Structure 1
Amino acid sequence: MLWIDKYRPKRLDKLILNQEIGDNLSKLVATGDCPHTLFYGPPGAGKKTLIVALLREIYGAGAEKIKVETKPWKIALPSRNIEVELTTLSSNYHVEMNPSDVGYQDRYVVQEIIKEMAKSRPLDMKGQRGFKVLVLNEVDRLSKEAQASLRRTMEKYSAACRLVMSCTNVSRVIEPVRSRCLCVRVAAPSTAEVQRMLAHVAKKESLSLPDSLSLRVAQASERNLRRALLMLETCRVAQYPFTPDQPVQLADWELYIQEIASDIMQEQSPKRLFQVRGKLYELLVNCLPPTLILRKLVLELLKKLDEEVQHTALALAAQYEHRMQEGQKAIYHLEAFVAKFMSEYKQWSIMAFG
């Protein structure tokens, strides 16, 4: 089992980070009810941990007895029938899913599947709360139509279910949904807090962790606790006992994006664009979010650019990230960004160096 899951606190009163949020949620549940809730914050800040602990606080240990199901859903529309395949994680009291996984068909998932689940109450009550919880991840990636349908579901079935949602960018969630939720901001942990968590896990694993190594891991993780624990576990596999100057291994996909950035800077040609497109497509096939690929690629390019070209790169990134949100095929927008950047950079190079 990965350390992330092995040492994830299962109860609100056992939280190491976000203790204040945990205390407030515990008091709220003690009143006998729980409103629709929206957790928002950067990746690795602890949103998933808070949701797991909240479910345990509401339903007790029964919420931890979960099963994973992947099944097709047949949805009858006025003009046609469609079939979507969705993976859910469920217990007797809650269902967790990621509606944005089905892409542009997400509104049908919200309109039909979530509505169907919201109608039913928990199977095994035993004196527990009289509502089911639907956990929806990455609601900021849902289309506007899906979010509008979600608002209607929240209103109509509030007696039978509560929605607990999580997202990274709350500004992409429409106002009618936000106004119907208790919005909880989960801030990224500080570098010192990441170090404290690394030390806690190292102690549990009976490992001797040098302060200099834990500091470098915390800094390389960019305040992402999930990433920091994965990095520490990778260091443990690579070499133990730890040494203060031990290198911190980055993820393979990050090294691959660094390679793509180097390819772009070395040559700006149709042949090189074709090669870069293949590498980008390989990242997408391995289920990396396209916005993450674009963001990391831009950060790597910025390290190699003069200040006057950095502004152009950032403006292009913002433009194509917006198009990516509105469109369907991410590879088109990633390739268009690279092509446009290559054109702008080559034109600047000719003017600057003749």
Structure 2
Amino acid sequence: MLYVDKYRPKALEQFELHSDVAQNLQKLVVNGDCPHTLFYGPAGAGKKTLILALLREIYGAGVEKLKVECKPWKIQLPSRVLELEFTTVSSAYHVEMNPSDVGNNDRYVVQEIIKEMAKSRPIGADGQQGFKVLVLNEVDRLSKEAQHSLRRTMEKYSAACRLVLACNNVSKVIEPVRSRCLCIRVAAPSVDSIAQQLQHVAGREKLCLPPALAQRLAAGCDRNLRRALLSLEACRVQQYPFREDQQVAEPDWELYIKEIAADVLGEQSPKRLFQVRGKLYELLVNCIPPEVVLRKLALALMPKLDDELRHSTAEDAAFYEHRLQEGSKAIFHLEAFLARFMSNYKQYIINLGF
């Protein structure tokens, strides 16, 4: 079992990094008050772990008896029958899903499937457990139509169902949804806190982790605890006993993005853009989120640019990141960003007289 799952806190009282948030959630459950909640914060901060601990606090160990289903759904539309298939993880008390997986059809998932699930109570429910919980991940990636439909579901079926939402960027969630939830910010852990957690996990695994290596792992994970633990495990597989100067391997997809940035800086031509398109496709088919690809591309390009180009590149990245949220084909917007950058960079080089 991966370290990131093996040492995940199971109960709210076990939390060290977000002890204040865990205590407040515990008070809510004890008082019998469990409103719709929205957990927001960066990736790897602990949102999912807090949600699972909250469910265990409400329902007990029964929420850990999970069933993974990939079910086909048929939704009757006025002009046709829409067939969708997506994966849900469920117990007798809750259902977890990611509606944004179906792309532009997410509003039908919210309008029909989630509404159908919200109507029913858990079997044998009584007292404060007389409701089921729907956990929706990546709510910030839902279309505006789906979010407006979600607002109606939250109002109409609140007696039988509670929604627990999770997102990275709360500004992409519409205000009517935010106002109906208890918003809980899950901050990214500090570098020192991550280093302490790495030492704790290494101690539990009976590994001798040099403090200098722990600090480098913590500093290189972008304050993402999940990534830090995976890096620790990769270092363990690569070499043990650890050395203080041991190299921390970067993920292959990050090296691939740096390779794309080097290709774009090396030559600005339609031929090179066509070659880069294939590499972008390869990242997307390996399930790297397009928003992450765009951000990492911009960050990889920045160190090689002058101040004048950095400003325009950051502006273009923000523009196409917004387009990415509104559009349906991620490859169009990623390629458009690189085409715009190549045009600006080549013009800049020509103006310099090279």
Q: 1:296 aligns to what?
A: 296
Q: 1:231 aligns to what?
A: 231
Tell me the SS of whatever aligns to 1:87. strand
Q: 2:182 aligns to what?
A: 182
* Amino acid paired to 1:28: L
Q: 2:143 aligns to what?
A: 143
How big is the shift at 1:125?
Answer: 3.1
Decide whether the 8 Å contact of 1:135 with 1:163 is kept in 2: yes
So what's the TM-score if we normalise by structure 2?
0.99
* Amino acid paired to 2:345: Y
Q: 1:258 aligns to what?
A: 258
Matches for 1:1-354 after TM superposition, within 5 Å: 1-125=1-125, 129-354=129-354
1:76-99 CA distances to partner (integer Å, 9 max, x unpaired)?
011111011110000000000000
* Amino acid paired to 2:69: E
How big is the shift at 1:16?
Answer: 2.1
Structure 1 residues 30 and 177: alpha-carbon distance in aligned structure 2, compared to 1, 3 A threshold: same
Decide whether the 8 Å contact of 2:264 with 2:272 is kept in 1: yes
1:289-329 CA distances to partner (integer Å, 9 max, x unpaired)?
10000000100000211121111111110111111111100
In structure 2, how many angstroms separate the alpha carbons of the residues matched to 1:112 and 1:86?
A: 14
In structure 2, how many angstroms separate the alpha carbons of the residues matched to 1:307 and 1:215?
A: 31
* Amino acid paired to 1:249: A
Unaligned runs of 5+ in 1: none
How big is the shift at 1:123?
Answer: 2.2
1:88-111 CA distances to partner (integer Å, 9 max, x unpaired)?
000000000000000000000000
Decide whether the 8 Å contact of 1:58 with 1:129 is kept in 2: yes
* Amino acid paired to 1:202: A
* Amino acid paired to 1:346: K
Structure 1 residues 62 and 128: alpha-carbon distance in aligned structure 2, compared to 1, 3 A threshold: farther
Unaligned runs of 5+ in 2: none
In structure 2, how many angstroms separate the alpha carbons of the residues matched to 1:56 and 1:47?
A: 14
1:147-199 CA distances to partner (integer Å, 9 max, x unpaired)?
00000000000000000000011011000000000000000000011011101
Decide whether the 8 Å contact of 2:121 with 2:132 is kept in 1: yes
* Amino acid paired to 1:223: R
Decide whether the 8 Å contact of 2:9 with 2:49 is kept in 1: yes
How big is the shift at 1:33?
Answer: 2.7
How big is the shift at 1:126?
Answer: 7.1
In structure 1, how many angstroms separate the alpha carbons of the residues matched to 2:168 and 2:99?
A: 15
Decide whether the 8 Å contact of 2:32 with 2:128 is kept in 1: no
* Amino acid paired to 2:196: R
Tell me the SS of whatever aligns to 1:247. coil
Tell me the SS of whatever aligns to 1:303. helix
How big is the shift at 1:71?
Answer: 1.1
* Amino acid paired to 2:241: P
In structure 2, how many angstroms separate the alpha carbons of the residues matched to 1:126 and 1:146?
A: 31
How big is the shift at 1:67?
Answer: 1.0
* Amino acid paired to 2:238: A
In structure 2, how many angstroms separate the alpha carbons of the residues matched to 1:71 and 1:87?
A: 7
Decide whether the 8 Å contact of 1:4 with 1:226 is kept in 2: yes
Decide whether the 8 Å contact of 2:189 with 2:224 is kept in 1: yes
Tell me the SS of whatever aligns to 2:52. helix
Paired residues in the alignment total 354
Tell me the SS of whatever aligns to 2:233. helix
Decide whether the 8 Å contact of 2:55 with 2:63 is kept in 1: yes
Where do 4+ consecutive residues of structure 1 move more than 6 Å? Answer: none
* Amino acid paired to 1:13: E
Decide whether the 8 Å contact of 2:125 with 2:131 is kept in 1: no
* Amino acid paired to 1:159: A
How big is the shift at 1:353?
Answer: 3.4
Decide whether the 8 Å contact of 1:12 with 1:22 is kept in 2: yes
How big is the shift at 1:124?
Answer: 4.1
In structure 2, how many angstroms separate the alpha carbons of the residues matched to 1:28 and 1:128?
A: 11
1:185-242 CA distances to partner (integer Å, 9 max, x unpaired)?
0000000110111011101100000011001000100100011001111000000000
